Amino acid sequence: MAGKNVVIAGASGAVGVEFMNVLEKMNFPMASLRLLATKRSAGKKLQFRGEEITIEEMTPASFKGADIALFSAGSSVSKEYEKHTLSAGCVMIDNSSAFRMREGTPLVVPEVNPADAKKHSGTIANPNCSTIIMLMGVYPLHRKYPVKRLVVSTYQAASGAGWAAMEELKDSTRAVLDNKPFTPQKMPYPYGFNLFSHNTAIDPQGYNEEEIKMVKETKKILGTEKISISPTCIRVPILRAHAESINIEFEGSAPSEDEARKLFADFPGVRVVDDRSKNHFPMPLEASGEWDCLVGRIRKDISQPDKGLNVFIAGDQLLKGAALNAVQIAALL
């Protein structure tokens, strides 16, 4: 591939840093890389391929001459800068929720619906981290055994809310251990040794925004309204990498456990961790920093063994749940 002029918007954030790490590790072909952030972060220097790159303040003119812009700066910033990005002839790959459900904007997981990336009109949306990780634990089976219903419970790490939440988890944990009072700033409740419903607004039906994203985004990515999805999203005191327990009901007969393991093992981006003898299954600690999602606890649903299967998956929210998926989209282009 010819080298591309790449811009990272939100370069100083947790996902922005991982954009750089993935681009370097993937040896993505680049003619140039520019780093953009707010005025507060402008002037800071970050390492890339052995050289220092200075972060610039993002302005409407920042995208002139760029081919690809990787955005992780929040929905409001993405909405504000989309027109400037596209008018510069630059493709926007956006990690926020701003455009995910907009008609005509592709929502892409490269292992699942790569062809959709080519249908863009300038903007491609990166799905929610929980949706991506769930699909990596469902789609390898769904291709051969169509899924009827999913019941999913998430165990979401602090990394999903950025650096500030990760630091707050550390501080909150220290406070509990030291028997000191702690007032949360980023999260609604003390995070150390605690868990709570995902910190997004609750709708009249009692579902939070994260749960509704999983429902709507999954149907858009798979191109079907037939799959029923019942999610429960929970924040847990883990620094990095989300985990999900997924109960899968199939339209017809469920695959055997051995066939499910093979389908997962043959699927790119998935690694089977399913050792019953050692009680060794996917863990956030082992998924952290990994490009693959770890899948295990593969077992028949004993309430309906002919139709159902249970799996457990762990994936790095900052990588496959965000930066890696976005760079993979860029590679598709």
| Residue-by-residue DSSP string for 237-277 | S-SS-EEEEEEEEESSPPPPHHHHHHHHHTSTTEEE--BTT
Ramachandran bin of 204, using left for φ above 0, alpha for ψ from -120 to 50, beta for the remaining angles: alpha
Question: What average pLDDT does range 22-27 have in this prediction?
Answer: 97
Q: What is the DSSP letter of 179?
A: T
CB atoms within 10 A of CB 143: 12
**pLDDT beyond 60 at 312:** yes
Active site residue 129: yes
**pLDDT beyond 70 at 178:** yes
Give the active site residue among 84, 120, 198, 242.
242
**pLDDT beyond 60 at 83:** yes
- Quote the pTM value: 0.96
In the chain, what are the domain boundaries?
4-126+322-332, 132-317
SS (H, E, C) 109-178: CCCCCHHHHHHCCCEEECCCHHHHHHHHCCHHHHCCCCEEEEEEEEEECHHHHCHHHHHHHHHHHHHHHC
In whole numbers, what is the pLDDT of the chain averaged over residues? Answer: 97
132-317 to CATH, choices 3.30.360.10, 2.70.98.10, 3.40.50.720, 3.10.130.10: 3.30.360.10
Active site residue 84: no
Count of helix runs (H) and strand runs (E) in the chain: 9, 14
Per-residue pLDDT, 1? 55
Which two three-digit tokens encode residue 247? 């109960």
Tens of pLDDT, residue by residue over 27-67, are: 999 999 999 999 999 999 999 999 999 999 999 999 999 99
Per-residue pLDDT, 213? 98
Give the active site residue among 90, 129, 233, 293.
129
Per-residue pLDDT, 314? 98
Question: What average pLDDT does range 305-309 have in this prediction?
Answer: 97
Tens of pLDDT, residue by residue over 2-15, are: 799 999 999 999 99
C-alpha pair distances (Å), 209 with each of 197, 204, 216, 303: 11, 11, 11, 30
Per-residue pLDDT, 2? 73
Per-residue pLDDT, 297? 98
The CATH code of domain 4-126+322-332 reads 3.40.50.720
User: Is 44:67 a contact under the CB 8 Å cutoff?
Assistant: no
Percent of the chain with pLDDT over 70: 100
